[in-house]
Amino acid sequence: MITGKTKLLGVIGDPIEHSLSPVMHNAAINNLGLDYVYLPFPIKPEDLPAAISGFAAIGLTGFSVTIPHKQAIIPLLTEVSPIAKEIGAVNTVWRTETGWNGTNTDVEGFLAPLKNYNQNWHQTTALILGYGGAARAVVAACAQLNCAKIQVFGRDTQKLKAFQNSWQNSQLAVNLSVHNWQELSDLIGESNLLVNTTPVGMYPHVDESPVSAELMGKLPGNAIAYDLIYTPNPTKFLQLAKEHGAEAIDGLEMLVQQGAAALQIWLKQQPPVNIMRQSLRQYLQI
């Protein structure tokens, strides 16, 4: 039961109706028997500064940050973790005595399912589709794995160049290169880790894949295909990858693990990861 003593957590975004974060976070909170509630807050970009001030006024404990606020929120925070500064994006914020602190748990979330694979990451070529905020977290994660090559692919030459330039002073992207989409055909054959960070294949366009069946056929049979999309499950991208012998990872585990890392910051205790995962699978009927 929500009372005047219930502590508030939440997620901000625009739009936010589709977010599954309340499902898994409230399941975890209920399991722990804590007097918290996790709510979705639709915040327009122009209202972001006012919302942050309002959150302080009502004593919000912390909140998740999703599109389009992950970069815009940084100047509004008192302190930003080194990893979030490197990536240039924040997805988790908590209140302290001096103000709001922010970090990025997407890297931790992305890496979690990869720990199950006995892969020689030092010899791995990671091929990343897309150059948005999610791609930035994946680049940082691949750098932490010490991947031999990190190749980012996109269709807009100017945005690709800007993406590359933004990493110039970072130690995380020593092996980073950017490529036009047309080069995918020539380079996909050397990829051991193929990651989709684009929205292609997301509901309602469930029959689309950023990579054609023909191109997927060039992917080495022992490669890992990783789609950050978690619904539909599996995506067309992962269906094609599995048909050509690749290992498939969907975005559900990343969602769960980045959320669990955030909950640990807010609640200062280990969250029930299995409950979070189970609540999402039940909700998505998968």
The residues annotated with a catalytic role in the active site are 70
Tell how far CA 233 is from the center of its chain: 17
- In the structure encoding, which two tokens stand for residue 46, read together? 């122009």
Calpha distance 36→91 (Å, rounded): 20
Q: Which long-range contacts (CB under 8 A, 24 or more apart) does 114-121 make?
A: 114/145, 114/224, 114/226, 114/249, 117/224, 117/247, 119/192, 119/193, 119/224, 121/145, 121/146, 121/147
The burial of 264, by beta-carbon neighbours within 10 Å (0-12 exposed, 13-18 middle, 19 or more buried), is given as middle
Strands 92-95 and 62-65: antiparallel
- In sequence order, the 6+-apart residues with CB closer than 8 A to the CB of 6 are 35, 36, 37
Of 106, 108, 116, 109, nearest to 247 by C-alpha is 116
Strands 247-249 and 36-42: unpaired
Tell how far CA 111 is from the center of its chain: 10
